[in-house]
Structure 1
Amino acid sequence: MLKWGVRIGLVLLLVLGASYLFREQIIFAVMKSQMEPANAFDVAQVPAGLDYADEDAWAALPSKKDGADFIPDQLNRQPQPSDVAVFFLHPTTYLSDAGWNAPTDDPESSEFRDDLVMRAQASAFNGCCEVYAPKYRQATLWSFMDETGSGDKARAFAFADVERAFDEFLKRIDDRPFIVAGHSQGADHVVRLLKAKITGTSLKDRMVAAYPIGFGINPSDMKEAVADIPVCDTPEQTACYVTWNSLGPNAKPFPDYIGAVCVNPLSWTTDGRSVAAEQNTGSLSVGDKVRYEAGVTGAQCQSDRLLVGDFQSDMFDDLPVNMGEDNYHLIDFSLFYGSIRKNAQDRVNAFLSAG
């Protein structure tokens, strides 16, 4: 009996050891089984599209009461400005395996988009600009891990919606200046917009700045594709872009983060200077309880990583999704909400003063 106990113990040790050694492959396999759509991407199977002339096609508009109107109580309330507009693209909120692209009225992803994302991210720009945020047939989360080509097609299909929404946005704002901003999948689409619609055109001269945050942006690719839209090196530079990926010291970066651009959202520079938590004017949590606190964490660009310091608050202890140890992708905006808000105002003021 003792021998069998020893044998079982050894087998369990081997299984546990193999599970540890191959934990990433195991996690990937589990995610694949839960999130990969059953069939390849087929344009004939995508959900119905939207008419962007219709207000219902937008998650946020200046003419609507929506989550992008939110202002934390700790900040001075002010009339919504009208000189500049922002075109904001929400991140992936669709995690289903039901299809490669989301219906824009899917209950769970719509609630996440219209409530949490509009308040935690899009609202950062309501201090400088009128906020326009289209709904779009976003690619499902698995599209970023897919290796069959269906994911790429789903993301390209989603961008076609974004292009149509951007064209309507331009009609609505006439000849006013604008900002383009987005997070994660939204940031991917912002970069696509810069390449397809803005670089080399008169629109570039109207663009205050671009904020494609939480996506791995390759600097060499950008220099080649959008040579007239550089990385922002100073807090008041315009016609440029800023981006970062928030990680702690123990995080393993996503593959596309390797070699990516990093702009520090506390100093708005690309150098490696460390900025202390005391200089972080405000982080925002909009879960069950809204919290806005200063001094939560500092930040430092270390090559392609925005190294986030130890948290001086428990406000982010209960994130809805664990992206991995020290991976703060979900709160790229929230950690630096106050700084983003002020920087957008500073760049708009610089742009308007120069004009």
Structure 2
Amino acid sequence: MNKIYFNKEKNIRLWYIVTLLLCVLFSGCDKMEAQEYIPQAPDYSDSTFWYTEENDKTGKNADVFYIVSTWEKDWKDENGTIVHYADVYKKKHRDDMTKEISAIAAYMGKDNNFYSPFYRHITIQVWATRDEDIINKRFAIAFEDIRNAFETFLKNRPKNRPFVLAGFSQGGKAVVELLKIMPKDVYQQMVAAYVLGYKVTPDDTLASTNIKAAQGPDDIGVTICYNSVSDVKYIQPVVAAPCAFCINPVNWRTDDVPATLHDTITVSVAQKEKVLVVKGYSGSEYSPIMGFLNVGDFHSAEPWLYKECLEENIKNRIEIFKKTRF
């Protein structure tokens, strides 16, 4: 079993330096800093800031690095200042993220070692602005955490051990950004990347050769991307458009040939819009989110509706990776 040990001597908890650098890199930061409180950055040498499961008892499978979606709403600090980020030093915020992460680990982490960092994700109110300039400026804080967590993950594992990268919603955005900066020697160990409920734009595909669209169930080093709607008129651009590619996780096709899920649900790829059109499913178990998600789309269902398909596919791609790369 390849277990990751968190070395406290490799302390990357320099949150104040990160914040200063972000102010230099992103315009308008001075104004934002004057109005916003940014929680302290996590120290990823401390296991407090990780959810982990060590399930690879033989050492022959893979690691899964999973990035959680959005769980927090805007909240106020002790001075009454509105905060637009999760605070990983608050147990409640870590517990909120754990609800999703543990459920994902139940199927992605079967026979694999599973690692998911708690991070300062941006709140749902930031996403509800549907202003990608605002989202991207604030997401810079969240992504700095993810980048540091991923670096810690890489430093504490065998370099030739395969890994799966996955994320849902805001976590899917982080997956795309990680792919853009991933060194080639690291990319060579990536089985596949799963971007669930978020887009890969045409510009994203031009930013890095690491981003390659999956064409079927067996290719490795590829990116799996999908968003689900009841009709293309319900596409929510902030998470789903424009999208460069989409694959059906039920039949693993990129054309419009439909697939049947759970006997009564039909899933097909809209060729122009690059989203999944789902018929025979209401999604009624998921309440609308601030009037812009789960409204004709199935955003909250993305990691759960197809979980059996994803579980089987992750196992399949790992097996193929081991056969072809070793």
- TM normalised by structure 2 equals 0.78
Structure 2 residue 189 is the aligned partner of structure 1 residue 206: yes
Aligned partner of 1:167 in structure 2 is 151
Aligned partner of 1:348 in structure 2 is 318
DSSP-derived class of the 1:243 partner: strand
What letter corresponds to residue 38 of structure 2 in structure 1? V
Change (3 A) 1:48 1:223: closer
Give the distance between the partners of 2:49 and 2:264, measured in 1 at CA: 36
DSSP-derived class of the 1:46 partner: coil
What letter corresponds to residue 230 of structure 2 in structure 1? G
DSSP-derived class of the 1:299 partner: strand
Residue 113 of structure 1 deviates from its aligned partner by 1.5
DSSP-derived class of the 1:276 partner: strand
Aligned partner of 1:299 in structure 2 is 267
- For the Cα contact (< 8 Å) 2:267–2:278, is it kept in 1? yes
Give the distance between the partners of 1:240 and 1:246, measured in 2 at CA: 20
- For the Cα contact (< 8 Å) 2:180–2:210, is it kept in 1? no
DSSP-derived class of the 2:258 partner: coil
2:297 to 327, 333, 341: 327
- For the Cα contact (< 8 Å) 1:246–1:329, is it kept in 2? yes
Q: How does 1:166-245 map to 2 (within 5 A)?
A: 166-175=150-159, 176-198=161-183, 201-218=184-201, 220-245=202-227
Structure 2 residue 33 is the aligned partner of structure 1 residue 48: no
Unaligned runs of 5+ in 2: 1-29, 76-81
Query: What is the total number of aligned residue pairs between the two structures?
Result: 280
Deviations 1:175-228 (A, max 9, x none): 111111000000000000000124xx111110100001111211x223311224
Aligned partner of 2:126 in structure 1 is 143
Change (3 A) 1:338 1:80: farther
- For the Cα contact (< 8 Å) 1:102–1:140, is it kept in 2? yes
Deviations 1:155-191 (A, max 9, x none): 0111000011001111222211111100000000000
The structure whose Rg is larger is 1
Unaligned runs of 5+ in 1: 1-38, 64-68, 70-77, 278-293
DSSP-derived class of the 1:192 partner: helix
Q: CA RMSD in A?
A: 2.6
DSSP-derived class of the 1:242 partner: strand
What letter corresponds to residue 210 of structure 1 in structure 2? A
- TM normalised by structure 1 equals 0.72
2:253 to 259, 269, 280: 269
1:93 to 63, 71, 80: 71
Give the distance between the partners of 1:156 and 1:348, measured in 2 at CA: 31
Aligned partner of 2:141 in structure 1 is 157
Give the distance between the partners of 1:255 and 1:127, measured in 2 at CA: 33
